[in-house]
Amino acid sequence: MHEAIKVSNVSKVFSRGYLRKSHKLVLSGIDLKITEGDRLVIVGESGMGKTTLARIMADLEWPTEGQVLWFGQDIGRMSKKEKRLLRGSVQYVHQDPYSSLHPAKTIFNIVADPLRYAHGLKSKDLRKRVKELMEMVGLTPAEYFFNKYPHHLSGGGRQRLAIARALTTEPRVIIADEPISMIDMSLRASIIKLFKDLNDQYNIAVVLVLHDIGAAKYFTYEKGEVAILYGGKIVEKGEGTKVLDNPLHPYTRVLINSSPVADPELARNRQVEQLRSYAVPIRTPDSKGCPFAHACNYYIEKCLERDPQLVPVEQNHEIACHVFCNRDGVI
Amino acid sequence: MNSLIKVENLRAVYLVREGTIKAADGISFDVQENSVTAIVGESASGKSTIIEAMTRTLPPNGRLLEGKVLYKGKDLLALKKEEFRRIKWKEIALVPQAAQQSLNPTMKIIDHFKDTIEAHRINWSHDQLIQKASEKLEMVRLNPDAVLYSYPMQLSGGMKQRVLIALALLLDPEVLILDEPTSALDVLTQAYIVQLLKELKKKLNITLIFVTHDIAIAAELADKVAVIYAGNIVEYNSVFRIFKNPLHPYTKGLLGSIMAINADMSKIKPIPGAPPSLLTPPSGCRFHPRCEHAMDICKKEKPPLITVEDGAQVACHLYSQGGRKDA
Amino acid sequence: MTKESLMNFYLDYIQPLFKNRKSLIGLIILLIYILMATVGAAVIPLDMNSNFAERYQKPSLKHPFGTDYFGVDIFQQIVHGSRAVISLTLLASFLAVLIGTIVGVARGYLEGIAGKIIDVIIMVFLVIPSFPALLILSAIFMDKDLNVLQIALLVAIWLWAPLAKQISAQVLSIKTRDFIEASKILNMPLRYILFNDIVKLLIPYIFINFVMQIKGAMEFSVGLMFLGLAKFDPTHWGIMLNYALYQAGALYTTQGFHYLFFVILNIVLLIYGGILLSQGIEEIFNPRVRGNE
């Protein structure tokens, strides 16, 4: 299997101010990859850089350092023409299904226009393909929706439409940033299931950015990888079941233990570790040490000086922590 | 245990260009003193309408058709404005959603506190105000020196939510009504707020009513849970019983569709269909188009909320047919 | 344009015009004059021959508005003159909207230096007082025999700037919305993004602006004619007004009162129709035009 997207040592710094005085380090040293046909979830809370990472992977923003490879090619060095050819292979679904769809276009046209302009499909073939795509995402009966507008759909329906639109270019990778956070609870699982089905049936690699651990588990419990982001850094990554059932990094453990459970007894009896700080770390290019040190209950002096690197603790499971892992394995 | 608040047959609508949105369709429930009641519903279920009706903050296009909200024997909806204002905030306070710009971005936090006492005609000196405000901010684990003189945009989502809680607690109310206290917050912040609310409840002995779309939050905090679907309460039960043995098909479907971390992933099943538009709600039981147990009578008659064993209440023809017990 | 989208357009933007009282009356007035200009001028003959025996006749059945200094029927002149007024007005409005939209969209889409240059151009036209500038321009071109299109263009030059500014602001805001990025990710060509994504949302805005321009264009063109700065056409109301006041001394004799009166009446009525329509539109659309949804 080939690598669909590979992110190598990517960092992103946002500079503000007229004379570029203040610099914010949003991502540092990200190494991530997704193979064709695989599933990946990037888990992070807000302000941790997950949206920036997703956008960099989708070529909607450019890294300050590092490379992004699509199917083995460095997109930072491609000509405009080459990029145009590859653009359709990596699609993106926005978080907000209320603003990612044009309010004045019919549902039919939202899906049909890319097919018309990019693939030159016409009349009967066009209708057939639009119907196919809408059925793939569960908007049936397709014809019922053709002349309606996005505002006639629920949040879940709109997200499905956005996915159908993304499928018009026959992508090999779909990246979705928080696709379910603006949808009702009872409809969220069906959207995740849709991504799973697209992955299974059409071998499309799917990268989801989520803050909901339950959804991350649902998406990866059969197959897939998880990467946990904190302060712009991947602190733990590996096979989904390994990371979520046996978290080793202190942040991941607190995150999972704080996730809502649908069991009142369990909720009341469990002990959730309190962090020393819940503030989002503000990092600059000069910041030293582990971004989690300020909140961690187990920090040692080394944590304040040197940024830990990702080290394997078992097959397909790595963490970046001085305390819970050293070069020889778990402490 | 007596009922502190009793909501009786609340019916409210919103007038829009296309017609009327029948948002609250005969809602009745009661809240015991010192308890935590959760009203769980998805978007467009009418849960916000209940709060708006109870606090008399319906928007200009909202109309209260019927209903009583009895507090200590008095109907809040029938009180004169002056009398209601005396109760509002001093006895019943509202914590709005932090996500919805409830704080004025041009005013410092201390000014928000000042506004509150002025609106309720309290005559505290400046020092008294600072002292009380600091006390409440500390109660929600915020540092008064840092927060009092900041602007809302300098605070994170979690901090803003805590400020709103502190503002609501300012006049030491007996009842706190919270509108989606944890939505739009991160997992850790959410957990923090939930923990905070648990502590506050214990420390201050207050009654909490909160509205949420996340039933898992109800599992953490609530004593009793009211599940609301399309403007009707479909189930009202103690939190333990609702999770262990949900009665209404919607509650069952809801619990089976959420991706909680402790759930059996292979058994997760979404509820087919989508929530109905309240402009033209389905006839009879509003859940019947999505219900796998729907019978003929469900399309024709709306099931009333009846009491079955152990004080559990459910609005479903499955229970009013056989095995019906009156309380 | 599907049937449904046309229907929606009608319901959202045209039907309210009929329901609002001001815009309805304004529309009726304008419609009367448009009819006058199209049907009326074709049906009613124009006899410009002087007939001094009939000069300054009071309004009667034969001469509904009376006769002027030369004995020519005023009503006929008004009807024929309406053609010039209406055509100039509508043409000028249309050109103003066209220029304003093109410049506005261009500014909204281009950023950096090109955008700033366009900003300056827009600002120049906003700041220069329109009517005096128009007068100066017309005076320059006075002896060249300009046709209606060219005069309309002269007028439009001083009307397009406010629309351009508003459209550029709208485009800048629409550009940041996710569906624009989505179109780019789907490799949609630039013309698609400009027209199907951006301009499509501006159409109601442009339409309303066009109607509101009518009033301004009308005032400008009548004013131009009145001051004798455009093509000489004796039936043009501005020219008639000029005649009435300066040539025929209608102010100085009670006999000429009806001459002055009817010309002014028609000018005022037509402009008032435009004002009512604009006010009605403001009442209906203002918050929606700004926010779009």
Report domain extents, chain B.
Answer: 3-91+173-321, 98-172
Hey, which chains touch A, using 3+ CB pairs under 8 Å? B, C
Give residues 275 to 304 of B whose Cβ lies within 8 Å of A. 275
Q: Same domain, yes or no, for A130 and A141?
A: yes
* Domain membership flag for residue A317: no
Beta-carbon contacts of residue A46 (< 8 Å; ≥ 6 apart): A211, A280, B157, B186
| Direct distance between the N- and C-terminal alpha carbons of chain A, in angstroms, rounded to an integer | 34
What angle do the packed helices C74-109 and C21-35 form, to 10 degrees? 120
Count the Cβ atoms, other than its own, within 10 Å of residue A188.
Answer: 26
Q: Is the pLDDT assigned to residue A42 strictly greater than 90?
A: yes
pLDDT at A162 over 90: yes
The answer to whether residue C288 scores a pLDDT higher than 60 is: no
* A281 assigned to some structural domain: no
Gap from C182 CA to chain A (nearest CA, Å)? 7
The total number of residues written for chain B in this structure: 327
CA angle C283, C287, C292 (to 5 degrees): 125
- Farthest CA pair distance, chain C: 79
Domains and CATH numbers, chain C: 19-38+74-287 (1.10.3720.10)
Q: Would you tell me the crossing angle of helices A123-136 and A107-119 to the nearest 10 degrees?
A: 120
Count of Cβ atoms closer than 10 Å to residue C142 Cβ: 13
Which of A230, A257, A275 terminates a domain? The answer is A275
Strand partners, C89: none
Are A182 and A266 part of one and the same domain?
A: yes
- Residues 6 or more apart in contact with residue A129 via CB below 8 angstroms: A115, A121
Q: Which of A58, A91, A96 comes nearest C178 by C-beta? A: A96
Percent of chain A with pLDDT over 90: 55
Same domain as A150, residue A33: no
Contact A214 B257 (CB under 8 A): no
What tokens does C266 get? 């028609």
Residue partners of B227: CB distance under 8 A and separation at least 6: B40, B41, B215, B233, B234, B235, B236, B242, B248, B250, B251, B254
User: Checking DSSP bridges between strand B74-75 and strand B62-71, what pairing results, if any?
Assistant: antiparallel
Show residues of chain B in contact with A279, CB under 8 Å. 156
Q: Which two tokens stand for residue C122?
A: 């827009």
Instruction: Say if the Cβ atoms of A102 and C185 lie within 8 Å.
Output: no
Distance CA C62, CA C119 (A): 57
Q: How confident is the model at residue A187 (pLDDT cuts 50, 70, 90)?
A: confident
3-state secondary structure of B212: strand
Question: Looking at CA atoms only, how far is residue A215 from chain B in angstroms?
Answer: 6
A85 shares its domain with A110: no
User: Left, alpha or beta for B22 (phi > 0: left; psi -120 to 50: alpha)?
Assistant: beta
Instruction: Tell if the CB–CB gap between A260 and B239 is shorter than 8 Å.
Output: no
Closest alpha carbon to A173 in A45, A6, A53, A48: A6
Distance from CA of C185 to the nearest CA of A (A): 7
- In angstroms, what separates the C-alpha of C103 from chain A's closest C-alpha? 23
| Residue A96, domain member (yes or no) | no
Nearest to C188 among A99, A106, A114 (CB): A114
Closest CB to A261: pick one of B239, B260, B275: B260
Could you say which of A60, A102, A166 has the minimum Cβ distance to residue C197? A102
Examine the domain organization and report whether A18 and A115 are in the same domain: no
Q: Mean pLDDT across the stretch C60-77?
A: 78
Chain A residue closest in CA terms to C189: A117
Q: What was the pLDDT predicted at B80? A: 86
Closest residue in chain A to residue B44, using alpha carbons only: A184
Q: Which two tokens stand for residue B280?
A: 């033209």
| A60 with C293: Cβ contact below 8 A | no
**Together in a domain, A214 and A244:** yes
Task: State which residue of chain B sits closest to A153, comparing Cα positions.
Answer: B274
The sign of the dihedral angle between the CA atoms of C53, C57, C63, C66 is positive
Chain-centroid distance of CA C271 in Å reads: 10
Could you tell me if B108 and B123 are in contact, meaning their C-beta atoms sit under 8 angstroms apart?
Answer: no
Among all chains, which residue has been given the structure tokens 């199907």?
C196
Confidence at residue C5, expressed as pLDDT on a 0 to 100 scale: 66
Say yes or no for a CB contact (<8 Å) between B43 and A186.
no
Mean pLDDT (chain A, rounded): 90
The distance of A311 to chain B (nearest Cα, Å) reads 26
Angle between helices B157-169 and B126-139 (to 10 degrees): 120
Cβ pairs A/C, distance under 8 A? 63
Single-letter residue type at C223 = G
- Give A-chain residues touching B220 at CB under 8 angstroms: 260-261, 264, 267-268
Instruction: Give the residue with greater pLDDT, B103 vs C243.
Output: B103
- In our burial notation (b when 16+ CB lie closer than 10 A, e otherwise), range A265-288 reads eebeeeebeebeebebbebeeeee
Tokens of A132: 């196919």
Last residue of a domain, one of A149, A169, A189: A169
**CATH number given to B3-91+173-321:** 3.40.50.300
Cβ–Cβ of A118/C186 closer than 8 Å? yes
Closest CA to A42 of A173, A175, A189: A175
The whole-angstrom separation of Cα A321 and Cα A292 is 9
Classify residue B153 by its DSSP letter: G
pLDDT at C293: 30
- In order of A8, A225, A226, A321, A329, the CA distances from A310 in angstroms are 13, 15, 14, 8, 11
Residues of chain C with C-beta less than 8 angstroms from the C-beta of A55? none
Split into its structural domains, chain A has a count of 2
Nearest chain C CA: its distance from A60 CA (Å): 8
pLDDT of residue A204: 95
Residue B277 has which token pair? 């538009």
- Check whether residue A263 and residue A185 sit in a common domain: yes
Strands of C84-196, DSSP E = none
Q: Which of A186, A263, A265 lies closest to B271 in CB terms? A: A186
Is there a domain that residue A309 lies in?
A: no
Where among A151, A169, A187 does a domain terminate? A169
Domain containing A256 equals 3-89+171-275
Using alpha carbons, select from C89, C88, C81 the residue that is nearest to residue C241: C81
Q: Do A187 and B189 touch (CB under 8 A)?
A: no
For an interface test with B, the pick among A41, A159, A181, A184 (most B C-beta atoms closer than 10 Å) comes out as A184
Tell which of B48, B161, B188, B250 to mutate to test the A interface (max A CBs under 10 Å): B188
Q: Which two tokens mark B77?
A: 């909806």
Strand, coil or helix: what is B19?
Answer: strand
Predicted complex ipTM: 0.87
Same domain, A157 and A77: no
**B220–chain A Cβ distance below 8 A for any pair:** yes
Structure tokens at B207: 């009654």
Contact A168 C186 (CB under 8 A): yes
Report yes or no on A124 lying in a domain.
yes
Q: Is the pLDDT of residue C39 over 70?
A: yes
* Burial profile B192-220: b = 16 or more Cβ within 10 angstroms, e = fewer: bbbbbbeebbeeeebbbbbbbbbbbbbbb
Which residue of chain A comes nearest to B43, CA vs CA?
A184
- Contacts of residue C217, defined as CB under 8 A and 6 or more positions apart, other chains included, come to C88, C89, C90, C92, C93, C96, C155, C156, C159
Question: d(Cα B244, Cα A262) in Å, to the nearest integer?
Answer: 10
Cα-Cα-Cα-Cα dihedral sign, residues B72, B74, B76, B80: negative
The answer to whether residues B132 and B124 touch, using CB atoms and an 8 Å cutoff, is yes
Residues A184 and A79 both lie in one domain: yes
- Of B259, B252, B262, give the one whose Cα is nearest residue A265: B262
Kindly report whether the peptide bond that precedes residue A141 is cis, defined as omega within 30 degrees of 0: yes
* Residue B148 contacts A where some CB pair is shorter than 8 Å: no
* The pLDDT value given to residue B83: 84
A65-90: pLDDT as tens digits = 999 999 999 998 888 888 888 999 99
Does the structure show a pLDDT above 90 at A169? yes
Q: Is A39 part of any domain? A: yes
Strand-pair partners of A70: A5, A73
Closest CA to B43 of A46, A267, A158: A158
Rounded to whole angstroms, how far apart are CA atoms B231 and A114?
Answer: 40
Per the CB < 8 Å rule, is B259 touching A193? no
* Record: contact A114-C5, CB cut-off 8 A: no
pLDDT tens by residue, A300-321: 888 899 889 998 888 899 999 9
- Alpha-carbon gap, residue B208 to B39, rounded angstroms: 11
Q: Tell me whether residues C293 and A103 touch, CB distance under 8 A.
A: yes
Whether residues A265 and B240 touch (CB distance < 8 A) is answered with yes
A212 to B259: CB separation less than 8 angstroms, yes or no? yes
Tokens in use for C132? 């005096």
Question: Does A85 share its domain with A16?
Answer: yes
Asked whether the predicted pLDDT for residue A244 surpasses 80, the reply is: yes
* Cα–Cα dist B231/B121, whole Å: 36
Minimum-distance CB partner of A258 among B157, B188, B258: B188
What residues are paired with A230 via a beta bridge? A233
Note the pTM of the prediction, 2 decimals: 0.84
Kindly state the average pLDDT of the residues B159-163.
Answer: 89
- C-beta neighbour count of C190 within 10 angstroms: 10
B222 contacts in chain A (CB < 8 Å): 264
Instruction: For residue C120, give the amino acid letter.
Output: V
Closest Cα in chain C, distance from residue A122 (Å): 16
Rounded to the nearest angstrom, the minimum Cα separation between B5 and chain A is 24
Looking at residue A186, which CATH number applies to its domain?
A: 3.40.50.300
pLDDT tens per residue across span B246-297? 999 999 999 999 998 888 888 898 888 888 888 888 888 999 999 988 888 8
Cross-strand bridge partners of residue A236: A228, A319
Comparing B28-32, B44-48, B133-137, the range with the smallest average pLDDT is B44-48
Q: Which amino acid does the sequence have at B229? A: Y
The closest alpha carbon to B262, from A193, A269, A50, belongs to: A269
Q: Does the beta carbon of B271 lie under 8 angstroms from any beta carbon of chain A?
A: yes
Most C CBs within 10 A among A51, A86, A102, A182, hence the mutation to make, goes to A102
Q: Do A180 and A258 fall within a single domain?
A: yes
% of residues, chain B, pLDDT over 90:
27
Is B258 within 8 Å of A279 when comparing Cβ atoms? Answer: no
In the 3-class helix/strand/coil scheme, how is chain A assigned residue by residue?
CCEEEEEEEEEEEEEECCCCCEEEEEEEEEEEEEECCCEEEEECCCCCCHHHHHHHHCCCCCCCEEEEEECCEEHHHCCHHHHHHHHCCEEEECCCCCCCCCCCCCHHHHHHHHHHHHHCCCHHHHHHHHHHHHHHCCCCCHHHHHCCCHHHCCHHHHHHHHHHHHHHHCCCEEEEECCCCCCCHHHHHHHHHHHHHHHHHHCCEEEEEECCHHHHHHHHCCCCEEEEEECCEEEEEEEHHHHHHCCCCHHHHHHHHHCCCCCHHHHHHCCCCCCCCCCCCCCCCCCCCCCCCCCCCCCCHHHHHCCCCCEEEECCEEECCCCCEECCEEC
- CB distance C200–A105 less than 8 Å? yes
- Tell which residue, A193, A198, A173, A210, has the closest CA to residue A33: A173
Instruction: Measure in Å the smallest separation between the Cα of A147 and chain C Cα atoms.
Output: 7
Contact between residue B110 and residue B130 where contact means Cβ atoms under 8 Å apart: yes
Q: Are strands A225-230 and A39-43 parallel, antiparallel or unpaired?
A: parallel
Q: What is the mean pLDDT of chain B?
A: 87
What is the pLDDT confidence band of residue B325, given thresholds at 50, 70 and 90? very low
Coarse DSSP helix, strand, coil percentages of chain C, rounded to the nearest 5 percent: 80, 0, 20
What integer pLDDT is reported at residue B321 of this predicted model? Answer: 60
E-strand ranges in chain B read 3-16, 19-32, 36-40, 62-71, 74-75, 92-95, 175-179, 207-212, 224-229, 232-238, 306-307, 313-314
Q: What is the pLDDT of residues B52-106, one digit of tens each?
A: 888 888 888 888 898 999 888 888 888 888 888 888 888 888 998 877 778 898 9
Residues A63 and A200 in one domain: yes
